[in-house]
Amino acid sequence: MNKNIKFHGNLKINDMIIHWLPTNYCNYNCSYCIAHAPIVNKNISFTDLSILKNCADKIFSINKDKYTFVFSGGEPTIYPYFIDLAEYLSKNKNTHIYLFSNGHKNKDYFSKLFSINNFNFNFSVHLEYANISHIKELIKLANTYNKYIMVSLMMNPDKKEKYELFFDELLEYRKYYYFGIDLAIIHNNEKIDKIYNKDEINWFNNSILKLKNVEEMFKYTSDIPDFFQDINTRYIFEDDKIIYLPHRVSIIENMKNFENYFCVQGINSMSINHNGDYKGSECSISPLIGNIYYDDIDYLKLIKPIKCSINDCNCRINNYSPKFKYQKECYNFTQINTPKIIPSFYLYNEVCNLKNQLNDLNNKMNKIIDSIVWFIPVKKLRDNFRNKFKTAEQSRAEQSRAEQ
C-alpha cells in the first residue's frame, strides 16, 4: 500500500508543534523503554527556568498562529519548575500544552496543571508500576476541571493478562467519565509481528471496535484536543484519495514506511533535547541544528527538507511533518511556504550578513588587483585594468564623488 502513497503528514503550516524534553531523567525503569532514560537521583542538576523561558520566547518569534508544546522525557514532571514553565507558556493565547507523563504525581500537583488554560494530559500507564485506583482518581479529577485526557495503556507483551484487565476496567469506567483510551503498541522499531502473535493483534483490533462502540454510546460533546485526534495522520494516494488513520492502526497496517520520501521536517515542528540541542523533528535521522538555549534559531536550516532513509516512522510527533514522494512537489511546497514562517528580522539580518560578506570579498579582490596592476607600466592601462573589476555599485560611488 505504501507504493501508492504520495503524501503523509500535515499541510497546515500556520501551526507549530514543539516536542520538548525538560529533563531526560525518569523515576521509572521500564523494561521496554526505548529512550533508556537514566534513573533520577539526588545529585542531578536541572536547567534554570529563565533559560527555558527565553527558549520559549525564541520559539514565539516564528510566525505561527498556534503553538503546541508536547512535553515528554524522561519524566517531565521531575523537572522542578515544570508547573511554572507551563504557566509561562499559557500566557501566550495561541499556546496549547500536552504533557506525556507516567502520572506518578498526586492530585494536588495535577489540580494545579488542570487549572492552566489549554493544558492537556496524556497518562502513560506502565503496567510494571501502574495502580488502577490512581488512574481512575486522576480521570475523575480531570473531569471536574472539564479536561479531556488520554490514557495510553502500554501493551507490554510480558503483562498480557494485566493490560487486558486494565483495558476492561477502563472501558467500563469510560461509561461514567469522559477520557480517551489509547492502546500503545510496544515495538522498539521492530516489526509488529515479531512482538505480538496473531491472537494479540486480533485482541487489539477487537478492542478498538469495543472502544468505538462505547464512545458512540457515551459521546463526548465538547472539543477533543487536536493532538489526541487523528487529523494529523493524513494520507494522500496517487489517485488523490485522502484518508485519516489512527496512529496505532497505521503502525499495525505497516503504513509508516516513508523511505526515500522527502520530509519538510521543520516547517511545522521542532524537537528540543534536555540540554537545548534542537532539530526539525523527533526523527533519528533529523540533523542537529544547534543549541536553542544559548543560540538564536537558524530558520533556514530548521526547514531544510531531508530525504528519509528509514522504513519505520512510528513516532506520533512525526505525523505532523509533511512527507512527499516526489521531490518536485516537496520543492514547490517549501518555496511557497518558507517566506510565510520566517520572521522579517531574520531575513533582514540574513541580507545584511550576505551584503557584508560581499563587501569583504570585494575588499579582498581590490587588494589582489592593486598588487597586480603595479606590474603594468602605463598609468592609463593600470586604471583601465582596475575598472574592469569594479562592481556597478563602486562605479556609481566614484561617479557621485566626481560630480560633487
Whether residue 13 contacts residue 340, with contact meaning beta carbons closer than 8 Å, is answered with yes
Side-by-side strand order, sheet with 119-125: 180-185, 150-155, 119-125, 95-101, 66-71, 15-20, 269-272, 277-279, 290-291
Distance CA 213, CA 112 (A): 33
Give the burial class of 166: count Cβ atoms within 10 A of its Cβ; 0-12 exposed, 13-18 middle, 19 or more buried: buried
Q: What SS3 string covers 219-254? A: CCCCCCCHHHCCCCCEEEECCCCEEECCHHHHHHCC
**What's the pLDDT score for residue 28?**
94
C-alpha angle with apex 349: 344 to 350, nearest 5 degrees? 95
Distance CA 172, CA 186 (A): 24
Q: How many CB atoms lie within 10 A of CB 94?
A: 14
pLDDT digits (tens, 9 = 90+) for 130-141: 999 999 999 999
Give the burial class of 260: count Cβ atoms within 10 A of its Cβ; 0-12 exposed, 13-18 middle, 19 or more buried: exposed
Q: In the numeric block, which cell numbers belong to residue 86? A: 507551563
**What's the pLDDT score for residue 343?**
62
**What's the pLDDT score for residue 364?**
78
Tell me the one-letter amino acid at 137.
Answer: E
Q: How many CB atoms lie within 10 A of CB 72?
A: 20
Q: Which of the residues in the chain have pLDDT under 50?
A: 1, 348, 392-393, 396
Q: In the numeric block, which cell numbers belong to residue 372? A: 597586480
Distance CA 15, CA 67 (A): 6
- What CATH code is assigned to 2-340? 3.20.20.70
* Of 289, 267, 240, 259, nearest in space to 335 by CA: 267
Q: What is residue 331's three-state secondary structure?
A: helix
Query: Strands 234-237 and 242-244, how do they pair?
Result: antiparallel
What are φ and ψ of residue 248, in 5° steps? -65, -35
**What's the pLDDT score for residue 392?**
46
**What's the pLDDT score for residue 360?**
77
Side-by-side strand order, sheet with 323-324: 242-244, 234-237, 5-8, 323-324, 262-263, 306-307
pLDDT digits (tens, 9 = 90+) for 262-283: 999 888 899 999 999 999 998 8
Tell me the domain boundaries of the chain: 2-340, 344-403
What are φ and ψ of residue 181, in 5° steps? -120, 125
Give the global pTM.
0.82
- Cell numbers 596592476 label which residue? 373
Give the burial class of 143: count Cβ atoms within 10 A of its Cβ; 0-12 exposed, 13-18 middle, 19 or more buried: middle
Whether residue 79 contacts residue 31, with contact meaning beta carbons closer than 8 Å, is answered with no
C-alpha angle with apex 61: 59 to 66, nearest 5 degrees? 70
